[in-house]
Homo-oligomer: A and B are copies of this chain.
Amino acid sequence: MHYCSHCGSLNIRQTRLPGDHVSRLVCADCGTIHYQNPKIVAGCLAVWETQVLLCRRAIEPRYGLWTLPAGFMENHESTEQAALRETYEEAQAVVTLDGLYAVQSIPHISQVYLLFRGYLARPEFAPGPESLEVRLFHEAEIPWNHLAFPVVVKTLRCYFADRAQGHFGLHVGNIEPTPR
């Protein structure tokens, strides 16, 4: 942020306001506080029979790697609507949601993933504009070394472990930065 979106001033300063616990971007001219908050990424772990639907990314970051259909929740929608919309946009798949499955905070990039379990009524899907390829994977076929994000690895691991035990819990957790 270079300019104050309220008054156009360039006097934006990181400021610790009285009684506040973190510093904010504050306009020194008009006083507007520019709050910045985490974004929600909503998506779906969708299955057809015993196979899981994954999309190969046609966009950066992680172009060419496989991911669960998911993306930024929009204003004026619910978490379920966001998950269904993203699944349709990225995989052209219509799914029925089975419940919230994972709430994973990623503090270092200020994102919270809300991933639902869902199922396809028919094995019908196709790559949307942000996907190179969409396909179903049996557990033994999951491209573990070509998954786009740690949250995808974690959620798929939880899913197959839960499925083996016959019970799907809710997984609330955090994703730490990957050591380089």
Residues of A within 8 A of B (CB): 1-8, 10, 19, 21-22, 34-40, 72-81, 85, 89, 99-100, 103, 105, 107-108, 110, 112, 114, 129, 170, 172, 174
Q: Tell whether, in the assembled complex, residue A76 and residue B172 are in contact, meaning their CB atoms are under 8 Å apart.
A: no
Q: Which residues of B contact A112 (CB under 8 A)?
A: 40, 73, 79, 114
Asked, given contacts A6-B2, A38-B73, A170-B170, whether A114 binds B103 with beta carbons under 8 Å apart, the answer is: yes
Q: Tell whether, in the assembled complex, residue B19 and residue A8 are in contact, meaning their CB atoms are under 8 Å apart.
A: no
Looking at chain A's contact residues, is the secondary structure mostly helix, strand, loop, or mixed?
A: loop
State A73–B106 Cα separation when bound (angstroms). 13
Q: Nearest chain-B residue to A75 (Cβ)? A: B110
Candidates B8, B19, B36, B37; contact of A129 at CB < 8 Å: B19
Q: Tell whether, in the assembled complex, residue A79 and residue B100 are in contact, meaning their CB atoms are under 8 Å apart.
A: no
Q: Which residues of B contact A38 (CB under 8 A)?
A: 40, 73-75, 77
* A-B residue pairs in contact (CB < 8 Å), sample of 16: A1-B5, A3-B4, A3-B7, A8-B10, A22-B74, A38-B40, A38-B73, A38-B74, A40-B112, A76-B108, A78-B105, A79-B103, A79-B105, A99-B170, A100-B170, A100-B172
Q: Which residues of B contact A3 (CB under 8 A)?
A: 3-8
Q: Tell whether, in the assembled complex, residue A110 and residue B8 are in contact, meaning their CB atoms are under 8 Å apart.
A: no
Q: Nearest chain-B residue to A88 (Cβ)? A: B21
Q: Which residues of B contact A22 (CB under 8 A)?
A: 74
Candidates B6, B36, B40; contact of A75 at CB < 8 Å: B36
